[in-house]
């Protein structure tokens, strides 16, 4: 742990390019990032590292973003972990499903990384 | 008779006689020549057969009617054994009378209907004749024929039922026509179903493609942003090139967005996020956004707003509508032209007008203007960029708000698009593929 602890953000997406893009942007903006390539890994990492925020892609192999969110809500350690869903699905029903699962916010793909950073800042209150 | 006499054989002869009461009687004479005293004497009897002859003539007349009909007329006895068979029966079933008389009727009945005939005969015996029953018979060649059957009792002089008369009409032609009609109907339905399925697949495909394009576009834009904000490892030229990449990525993104939006409309899945919307403010924003592009082309853009209440609508979609109309105006107006936007309330409607001094749209093209992918001949000729989606989307947005969009234009003097949206509509109608009057 460094002297001035940077907030830790979990980023999960099965597209490696998106994953490193988000990682780069958030690191440049003063966050630490831990990444996951699928839903199961995201769930494990969330339990092991207790991040301050999770950015979850909706369409992921093994467990989708909705399911990961729902399971995070069931665990004591991650019950209050803020979740932002990244989604290319823009139907209202998709958004409603995310909120139902317990997500705090969602960002539509394609997103501008600046917009993403702003949302992260808003949720973390920085 | 002379020969019979000469040979000493009995004879029979028929002739007519005039009766004392003035009528003509038919008689039959049977006799034998008897030699008596060297002379032949005729010994016999003369019978009056007039009644039989009349009955016979009547029978022949009926028989000829039975023979002349195209229908099958078959009589059977109480055991359903065939006792008569007309020409119509031969024509329909293929058997000659000689082959079938004395046989049970059952060989004409297909196996799967073998229970039907006995119960019908029972019904006739009970006094209830069978009228116009559609059924099937087996022909001599084994093929089946559709027939319309009536069965009536045959009674003797004592009114006792002694058999059955079965009359059948060949309705195979009619049945075939019906079957053919049915088949065509089914085929049409199947075709319609296939078309609907194709339409659905197309919409799904567009949605899928648009969706799948979004992820790589996110990467392209995101990494460009990262490169462009680097502290200065780029030459001006490189920076300019990357600007071109970014602009085109943006165009591609807008196109994907438009396609996805249209796919949603087609699938009937467009829904509005309705709130209280200040149209004048939206128009002001659109004009500000468009101004740099307009100034580049030397086009003057003005905005005039009249009193207008807040309307119930989807802010983002209405902004998209205004952006579309405004960018069209600028795109199709030559240097030094004008684009004037007016927004006001008018008799319970919010009215938006976008008037340009552009090239105008010929009357025959105006009616197609709101169709997907339609582009005017001039737009294509002059290679003015565009996809032909903007106005289709604009129309869909207006209709989702329960409003109308119309165009007025004449060549070389410009075009005016007019949108009217009911002000107090709180629950916008779902989209219909309704035509817009132009």
Verify that B330 and B416 share a domain, yes or no: yes
Specify the pTM. 0.51
pLDDT value for B435: 39
Interchain proximity B219–A17, CB inside 8 Å: yes
Verify that B143 and B99 share a domain, yes or no: yes
From chain A, the residues in CB contact with B222 under 8 A are 18, 21-22, 25, 111-113
- Compute the residue count for chain B: 438
Q: Is B110 a residue whose pLDDT tops 70?
A: yes
Mean pLDDT over all residues of chain B?
86
Within 13 Å, how many C-alpha atoms sit on residue A77's CB side? 9
Q: Domain segments of chain A: what residues?
A: 8-124
B159: containing domain? 69-170
Read off the CATH number of the domain in which B374 is found.
Answer: 3.30.565.10
Which residues lie closer than 8 Å to B9 by C-beta, 6 or more apart? Answer: B32
Verify that B231 and B288 share a domain, yes or no: no
Separation of alpha carbons B124 and B129, rounded Å? 5
Q: Is B428 a residue whose pLDDT tops 70?
A: no
Confidence of residue B250 (pLDDT cuts 50, 70, 90): confident
Confidence of residue B424 (pLDDT cuts 50, 70, 90): low
Measured between CB atoms, does B176 come within 8 Å of chain A? no
Verify that B262 and B184 share a domain, yes or no: yes
> Quick check: A69 and A85 in contact, CB under 8 A?
yes
**Domain presence at residue B58:** no
Interchain proximity A110–B217, CB inside 8 Å: yes
Number of Cβ pairs closer than 8 Å across A and B?
45
Q: Is B151 a residue whose pLDDT tops 80?
A: yes
Interchain proximity B226–A113, CB inside 8 Å: yes
> Quick check: B93 and B103 in contact, CB under 8 A?
no
Q: Is B51 a residue whose pLDDT tops 80?
A: yes
Separation of alpha carbons B367 and B375, rounded Å? 12
Q: Is A105 a residue whose pLDDT tops 80?
A: yes
pLDDT value for A22: 92
Q: Which of B211, B216, B219 sits opposite A89 (nearest CB)?
A: B211
Establish whether this prediction's ipTM goes over 0.95. no
Q: How far is CA A96 from the centre of its chain?
A: 17
Question: What is the tally of helices (H) and strands (E) in chain A?
Answer: 5, 5
Reported as a single tens digit per residue, the pLDDT across A58-92 is 888 888 899 999 999 998 888 889 999 988 766 66
What average pLDDT does range B100-119 have in this prediction? 92
Helix then strand then coil, in percent of chain A rounded to 5, is 45, 20, 35
Separation of alpha carbons B343 and B421, rounded Å? 11
Measured between CB atoms, does B348 come within 8 Å of chain A? no
- Number of separate domains in chain B: 4
Token pair of B193, please? 């179903």
Verify that B313 and B413 share a domain, yes or no: yes
Separation of alpha carbons A35 and A19, rounded Å? 7
What average pLDDT does range B166-194 have in this prediction? 93
> Quick check: A45 and A34 in contact, CB under 8 A?
yes
What average pLDDT does range A96-105 have in this prediction? 85
Helix then strand then coil, in percent of chain B rounded to 5, is 45, 30, 25
pLDDT value for A3: 46
Confidence of residue B153 (pLDDT cuts 50, 70, 90): very high
Verify that B280 and B371 share a domain, yes or no: yes
Verify that B73 and B38 share a domain, yes or no: no
pLDDT value for B119: 92
* CA gyration radius, chain A: 13
**Domain presence at residue B436:** no
Reported as a single tens digit per residue, the pLDDT across B255-268 is 888 887 887 777 77
Verify that B279 and B256 share a domain, yes or no: no
pLDDT value for A91: 63
Interchain proximity A21–B253, CB inside 8 Å: no
Select from B148, B170, B192 the last residue of a domain: B170
Verify that B284 and B377 share a domain, yes or no: yes
Verify that B254 and B283 share a domain, yes or no: no
Q: Is B98 a residue whose pLDDT tops 90?
A: yes
For the ranges B215-219, B225-229, B282-286, the maximum mean pLDDT occurs at B282-286
For A18, the 3-state DSSP assignment is helix
Q: Which of B215, B221, B225 sits opposite A88 (nearest CB)?
A: B215
Reported as a single tens digit per residue, the pLDDT across B373-384 is 888 888 878 777
Task: Give me the phi and psi of B143, to 5 degrees please.
Answer: -75, 160
A8-124 CATH fold:
Rossmann fold (3.40.50)
pLDDT value for B49: 84
Which residues partner with B170 through β-bridges?
A: B147
Verify that B43 and B123 share a domain, yes or no: no
Q: Which of B214, B222, B253 sits opposite A113 (nearest CB)?
A: B222
What average pLDDT does range B98-107 have in this prediction? 93
Measured between CB atoms, does B211 come within 8 Å of chain A? yes
Confidence of residue B437 (pLDDT cuts 50, 70, 90): very low
Separation of alpha carbons B247 and B260, rounded Å? 20
> Quick check: B297 and B260 in contact, CB under 8 A?
no
**Domain presence at residue B225:** yes
- The more confident residue out of B153 and A99 is B153
Confidence of residue B304 (pLDDT cuts 50, 70, 90): very high
Separation of alpha carbons B251 and B324, rounded Å? 14
**Residue B411 CB burial class (10 angstroms; 0-12, 13-18, ≥19):** middle
* CA gyration radius, chain B: 48
> Among all residues of chain B, which has the CA nearest to that of A27?
B226
Task: Provide the percentage of residues in chain A whose pLDDT is more than 70.
Answer: 92
Confidence of residue B87 (pLDDT cuts 50, 70, 90): very high
What average pLDDT does range A111-115 have in this prediction? 85
Give me the residues of A, 50-89, that contact B with CB < 8 A: 88-89
- Compute the residue count for chain A: 126
Read off the CATH number of the domain in which B149 is found.
Answer: 3.30.450.20
Separation of alpha carbons B18 and B26, rounded Å? 9
Verify that B370 and B236 share a domain, yes or no: no
**Domain presence at residue B154:** yes
pLDDT value for B187: 93
What average pLDDT does range B166-192 have in this prediction? 93
Confidence of residue B23 (pLDDT cuts 50, 70, 90): confident
């Amino acid at each position: 742990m460094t002297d001035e602890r940077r907030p830790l953000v979990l980023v999960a997406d099965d597209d490696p390019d998106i994953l490193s893009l988000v990682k780069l942007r958030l690191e440049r903006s003063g966050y630490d990032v831990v990444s996951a390539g699928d839903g199961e890994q995201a769930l494990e990492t969330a339990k092991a590292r207790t991040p301050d925020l999770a950015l979850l892609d909706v369409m992921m192999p093994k467990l989708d973003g909705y399911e990961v969110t729902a399971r995070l809500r069931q665990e004591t350690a991650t019950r209050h972990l803020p979740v932002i869903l990244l989604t290319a699905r823009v139907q209202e029903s998709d958004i409603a499903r995310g909120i139902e699962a317990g997500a705090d916010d969602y960002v539509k793909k394609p997103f501008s990384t600046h917009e993403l950073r702003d949302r992260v800042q808003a949720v973390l209150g920085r | 008779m002379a020969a019979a006499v000469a040979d000493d054989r009995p004879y029979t002869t028929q002739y007519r006689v005039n009766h004392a009461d003035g009528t003509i009687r038919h008689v039959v004479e049977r006799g034998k020549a008897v030699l008596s005293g060297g002379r032949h004497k005729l010994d016999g009897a003369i019978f009056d057969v007039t009644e039989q002859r009349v009955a016979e003539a009547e029978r022949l007349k009926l028989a000829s009617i039975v023979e002349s009909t195209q229908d099958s007329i078959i009589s059977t006895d109480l055991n359903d054994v065939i006792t008569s068979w007309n020409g119509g029966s031969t024509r329909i079933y293929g058997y000659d009378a000689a082959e079938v008389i004395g046989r049970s009727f059952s060989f004409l009945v297909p196996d799967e209907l073998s229970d039907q005939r006995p119960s019908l005969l029972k019904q006739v015996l009970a006094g209830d004749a069978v009228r116009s029953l559609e059924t099937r018979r087996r022909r001599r060649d084994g093929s089946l024929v559709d027939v319309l059957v009536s069965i009536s009792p045959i009674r003797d002089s004592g009114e006792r039922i002694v058999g059955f008369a079965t009359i059948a009409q060949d309705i195979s032609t009619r049945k075939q026509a019906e079957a053919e009609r049915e088949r065509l109907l089914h085929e049409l339905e199947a075709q319609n179903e296939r078309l609907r399925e194709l339409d659905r697949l197309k919409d799904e495909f567009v949605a899928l493609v648009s969706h799948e394009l979004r992820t790589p576009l996110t990467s392209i834009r995101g990494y460009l942003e990262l490169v462009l904000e680097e502290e200065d490892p780029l030459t001006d030229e490189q920076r300019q090139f990357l600007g071109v990449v970014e602009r085109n990525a943006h165009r591609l993104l807008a196109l994907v967005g438009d396609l996805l939006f249209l796919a949603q409309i087609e699938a009937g899945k467009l829904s509005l996020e309705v709130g209280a919307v200040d149209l004048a403010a939206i128009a002001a924003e659109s004009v500000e956004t468009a101004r740099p592009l307009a100034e580049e082309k030397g086009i003057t853009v003005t905005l005039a707003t009249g009193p207008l209440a807040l309307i119930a609508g989807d802010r983002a979609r209405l902004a998209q509508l205004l952006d579309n109309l405004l960018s069209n105006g600028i795109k199709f107006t030559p240097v030094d032209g004008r684009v004037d936007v007016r927004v006001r309330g008018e008799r319970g409607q919010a009215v938006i007008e976008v008037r340009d001094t552009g090239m105008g749209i010929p009357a025959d093209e105006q009616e197609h203007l709101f169709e997907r992918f339609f582009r005017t001949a001039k737009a294509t000729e002059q290679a003015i960029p565009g996809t032909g989606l903007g106005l289709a989307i604009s129309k869909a947005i207006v209709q989702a708000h329960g409003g109308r969009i119309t165009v007025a234009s004449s060549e070389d003097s410009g075009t005016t698009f007019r949108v009217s949206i009911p002000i107090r509509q709180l629950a916008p109608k779902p989209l219909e593929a309704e035509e817009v009057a132009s």
